[in-house]
């Protein structure tokens, strides 16, 4: 079963400096930014994206982070809930992939383009 919540890809449509955020867009963006505002989660995104095939098993992420399996799983859940990663369960392990365009969507909201 693959879990995908398209939060990051639908953060909002205009950079912050061109149009005020509505309440719903601000909530979605805050959830995404909170997920990104943790060094372990940033490393997890990087590890998953750089892993062979762009997919990593939770078992492949524990040692590089130096954290326990429950802690790594918690961080991964936050990233899935924020719409940055997808999760696919295979047997006893879960495999994670970066949602295509999720980080680009966040960057586009924060990027100022000419006036």
Predicted local distance difference test score (pLDDT) of residue 14: 56
Query: What's the predicted TM-score (pTM) here?
Result: 0.79
Query: CA–CA distance from 5 to each of 8, 12, 60, 78, 88 (Å)?
Result: 8, 15, 23, 11, 13
Is CATH 3.40.50.10470 what the domain over 2-110 is classified as, yes or no?
Answer: no
Distance CA 6, CA 25 (A): 13
Mean pLDDT of 35-60: 94
Paired strand residues for 3: 87
pLDDT digits (tens, 9 = 90+) for 90-111: 999 899 999 998 888 888 877 7
Distance CA 29, CA 18 (A): 16
Model confidence at 49, in pLDDT bands (50, 70, 90)? very high
| Model pLDDT, residue 113 | 61
pLDDT tens-digit series, residues 58-99: 999 999 999 999 999 999 999 999 999 999 999 998 999 999
What strands lie across the sheet with 55-57, from one edge to the other? 2-3, 85-90, 93-98, 55-57
Q: What is the pLDDT of residue 15?
A: 62
């Amino acid at each position: 079963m693959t879990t995908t919540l398209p939060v990051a890809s639908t953060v909002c449509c205009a950079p912050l400096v061109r149009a005020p955020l509505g309440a719903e867009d601000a909530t979605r963006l805050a959830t995404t930014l909170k997920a990104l505002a943790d060094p372990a989660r940033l490393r997890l995104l990087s590890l998953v994206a750089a892993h062979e095939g762009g997919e990593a098993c939770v078992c492949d992420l524990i040692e590089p982070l130096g954290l326990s399996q429950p802690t790594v799983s918690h961080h991964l859940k936050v990233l899935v809930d924020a719409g940055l990663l997808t999760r696919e369960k295979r047997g006893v392990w879960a495999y994670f992939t970066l949602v295509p365009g999720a980080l680009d969507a966040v960057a586009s909201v924060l990027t100022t383009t000419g006036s």
